[in-house]
Amino acid sequence: MKRRTQILKTLVASWAAWQLVGLPAAFAQAASHPPIPAAIAPCLPAIESPIRLQASTSFQGVNYYDYYVGDADSDDGYDILIRQDRSSCRRLMGAETRNLTYPFSHYIPSQAAYQIWLDIYRQRIAAAGGVAQYQQQMEAEDAATCPCFVTSEEARAMRDLGLRVSPDYQPYPVNGLPPQ
């Protein structure tokens, strides 16, 4: 009986500590970022920077994933674009292409690139609280950083979601060289 009481006290203390430390919040946060599928894990770099899925889509039997490496507030981050079919995955973009200005459609079909951008902008709009709020946020950021470069599929996704594409936005150069 004494042993049962001791076990019960330990369980209650563990549960209380779990509630105080906030482990449920940590689990909820982990659940908001889906786990990396085992089939594409070999295509992601083994680094300590945060890696989060920005968007994914399937097109003609192939899955495409856009992961972001780095802190959300950092300008040092970069996209990793992965193509995955039934038998393998292949990294199409990564740290080695971070300073190039190739659009996603240089690596994947333009319809898949458009779907990726739709997903990204839907998330941004939701996080901002709506189209009007995101438009204001985007215009405030652009005033400080433009000229801005957008791809045709990115501009199309923005328009289709009700966002105004600033006249300050310029098309990405198609040669992959950094803008001058």
| pLDDT over threshold 50, residue 22 | no
Q: What are phi and psi of 82, to 5 degrees?
A: -125, 140
Distance of alpha carbon 113 from alpha carbon 106, whole angstroms: 9
Give every CB contact of residue 92 below 8 A, 6+ residues apart in sequence.
81, 82, 83, 107, 108
Q: Name the average pLDDT for the chain.
A: 77
Chain center to CA of 32: 12
Tell me what pLDDT residue 79 has.
87
Tell me what pLDDT residue 1 has.
53
Strands across the sheet containing 62-69: 51-59, 62-69, 78-84, 89-93
Tell me what pLDDT residue 33 has.
61
Number of H helices, E strands in the chain: 5, 6
What's the token pair of residue 117?
């951008």
- In this predicted model, which residue has the larger pLDDT, 107 or 170? 107
| pLDDT over threshold 60, residue 169 | yes
Whole-Å CA distances, 32 to 28, 70, 72, 146? 6, 17, 15, 32
Radius of gyration of the chain (CA): 21
- In this predicted model, which residue has the larger pLDDT, 12 or 40? 40
Tell me what pLDDT residue 5 has.
46
| pLDDT over threshold 80, residue 175 | no
| pLDDT over threshold 70, residue 173 | no
DSSP type of residue 162: T
**Percent of the chain topping pLDDT 70:** 69
Count CB-CB contacts under 10 A for residue 77: 16
What digits encode the pLDDT tens for the residues 76-133?
Answer: 788 899 999 988 999 998 877 766 667 888 899 999 999 999 999 999 999 999 999 9
